[in-house]
Amino acid sequence: MRVVVDFDRCQSNAVCMDVAPEIFEVRDDNFLYILDEKPSEALRPKVEEAVRRCPTQAISIAED
Amino acid sequence: MASAAPPGRVVVVGASLAGLSALETLRQEGFEGELIAVGAETTLPYDRPPLSKQVLQGHWEPDKIVLREPGQYDALGVTWHLGRRATGLDVSARTVTLDDGEPLAYDGLVIATGATPRRMPGTSELAGIHVLRTLDECLALRQELESASRVCVVGAGFIGAEVAASARVRGLDVTVLEALPSPLARAFPAEMGAACAALHLDQGVDLRCGVTVAGFEGEGRVSGVRLGDGSVVEADVVVVGIGVVPETGWLESSGLPLENGVVCDSTCATAAPGVVAAGDIARWPNNLFGETMRVEHWSNAVEQGTAAAKRLLAGPGDAVDFTPVPYFWSDQYDAKIQFLGRCCPTDEVRIVDGSIEERRFVALFGRDGRLFGALAFNRPRLLMAYRKLLAAKTSFEDAVAHAQGS
Ligand SMILES: Cc1cc2nc3c(=O)[nH]c(=O)nc-3n(C[C@H](O)[C@H](O)[C@H](O)COP(=O)(O)OP(=O)(O)OC[C@H]3O[C@@H](n4cnc5c(N)ncnc54)[C@H](O)[C@@H]3O)c2cc1C
Ligand code: SF4
């Protein structure tokens, strides 16, 4: 599983960071950083929740 | 109450954000029965927030606001009845009536018909007066903005403010009329309304608070808005953003308790067996805040759609309370406004980061010694930290101390 963020859509509102702080971090510069692009399978439910809760549909999961 | 055996057919009325969230959750939770979605609009669920922002500004075309790719919709295995309206509900026969008179039987029902803009008298006779809720309304408004020069927005709530910002970004002259003494005065302490007002004043919007609208000028097409003092604000296009009302009309004869929304218990279940509600239409007691609320925000539609779907599948005794920390955002010009929790005008306010002058701050709201809400301008990372504190019912003092320590 690879976490993909469409940075053209992302509004840096940090909703994903609230769901999965292990993977997503919005820093003081107001940009989103992906801390772990290939998280372990154990984190899949959290990533899926972040996908659903992201208000701009910016996050997706690629299987490669 | 929903039975332990998974229902055979679930009908979702309202094919938008809350309905979609319920449909997806039902499948994720392993529901293999029949799913039917009924939606008054002719489109598959799409995203509304960009309607007052990117789409209205002309930066995005409608293809950008699809909520899911076609393949994802296919995978859900839903029968969509689009462009169809539910007109009645019989809770004892367990049927929904559609606008062609056909009754549709259900084992489980999700009510997700959302809300619709409140209208002003005298606005239907004149062209050029708009409300904004649907994609069609957005495109109609956008087309008129292309040739307009003066726009008047009635109502300085979030939708009105975003429309004003988008019209300004398009280079139009914008007047905003607000009945209250400052924007958002019913929901927030006055200094927060002032902070929102400042964003628009910075950009040259003519914001007039404490004014009443007496009527509209024009023959066939609007030419201005007449105020209570008799003066007229000239405008080629008027947008009315004075709030929304829950879409409960089709439920009026059902006997289901309605009270500014569909009345639910703390688990999103209505008084009728097998019937749950979610999104802008649902009113429920949120035990985290000890308050019965109806929340008109995007994240709530997603979260409550999920909670209501799970409620439908839960066995007796398995139902869980829906106790979210409400969240919303609003984008106006370059400002990213975000709010968590609850707020009322009399809450104690503490600015814990930045300042209103910088248009960058975090404000905390306290009530009865407890942290109730947090509002941020351009401070997303800092704001989100307060969700956990709000969920943990942190005292106001501890929340302020947390802010000073971070
Ligand atoms: C322009 C705009 C901008 C917004 N911006 C933000 C924002 O920045 N941040 C934020 O948090 N929230 C925002 N929101 C609010 C957010 O979009 C709503 O909270 C959300 O759409 C609610 O979802 P819902 O599914 O409950 O209701 P809705 O999206 O209203 O969907 C209800 C659906 O049910 C259909 N329907 C109604 N009656 C019937 C019937 N009798 N039979 C069948 N179908 C019916 C309607 O046609 C509609 O498609 C915005 C809303 C608008 C309109
Ligand atoms: S939730 Fe979505 S929009 Fe918000 S920071 Fe994460 S990816 Fe960006």
What superfamily in CATH does domain B334-405 come from? Answer: FAD/NAD-linked reductase, C-terminal dimerisation domain (3.30.390.30)
Separation of B165 CA from ligand 1 center, angstroms?
A: 21
Residue B135 token pair: 């994609």
The domain B119-242: what is its CATH number? 3.50.50.60
Tens digit of each residue's pLDDT (9 = 90 or more) over B89-110: 999 999 999 999 889 999 999 9
**Preferred mutation among A15, A44, A47, A63 to probe B, highest tally of B CBs within 10 A:** A15
Residue B323 token pair: 């106790």
Its domain, for residue A45, covers: 2-62
Q: Do B303 and A27 touch (CB under 8 A)?
A: no
Q: Which of B253, B280, B329 to mutate to test the pocket of ligand 1 (most atoms within 8 A of CB)?
A: B280
Cβ–ligand 2 contact at A11 (below 6 Å) = yes
Q: Which residue has the higher pLDDT, B9 or B5?
A: B9
What superfamily in CATH does domain B9-116+245-313 come from? Answer: FAD/NAD(P)-binding domain (3.50.50.60)
Cβ–ligand 2 contact at A26 (below 6 Å) = yes
CATH code for position A17: 3.30.70.20
Question: If 0-12 CB within 10 Å is exposed, 13-18 middle and 19+ buried, where does residue B49 land?
Answer: buried
Tens digit of each residue's pLDDT (9 = 90 or more) over B341-357: 999 999 999 999 999 99
Q: Mean pLDDT, to the nearest integer, of B145-159?
A: 97
Give the whole-angstrom CA distance, residue B340 versus residue B311.
Answer: 25
Q: Do B329 and A26 touch (CB under 8 A)?
A: no
Computed over every residue of chain B, the mean pLDDT equals 95
Which residues lie across from B215 on neighbouring strands? B226
**SS3 for B53?**
coil
Name the closest-CA residue to atom 7, ligand 1.
B49
Q: Do B302 and A18 touch (CB under 8 A)?
A: no
Cβ–ligand 1 contact at B280 (below 6 Å) = yes
B3 has pLDDT over 50: no
Separation of A58 CA from ligand 2 center, angstroms?
A: 6
Tens digit of each residue's pLDDT (9 = 90 or more) over B178-234: 999 999 888 899 989 999 999 999 999 999 999 999 999 999 999 999 999 999 999
B314 has pLDDT over 70: yes
Name the closest-CA residue to atom 2, ligand 2.
A54
* ipTM above threshold 0.95: no
Could you tell me if B78 and B27 are in contact, meaning their C-beta atoms sit under 8 angstroms apart? no
* Residues of each domain in chain B carrying CATH 3.30.390.30: 334-405
What was the pLDDT predicted at B6? 60
Nearest residue in chain B measured CA to CA from A25? B381
B1 has pLDDT over 50: no
Query: Order of strands, edge to edge, in the sheet holding B291-293?
Result: B262-263, B282-286, B291-293
B256 has pLDDT over 50: yes
DSSP secondary structure code for residue B171 in this structure: T
Q: Which of A3, A6, A7, A13 to mutate to test the pocket of ligand 2 (most atoms within 8 A of CB)?
A: A13
Which residue positions in chain A have pLDDT lower than 70?
A: none
* Residues of each domain in chain B carrying CATH 3.50.50.60: 9-116+245-313, 119-242
pLDDT bracket for residue B4 (50, 70, 90): very low
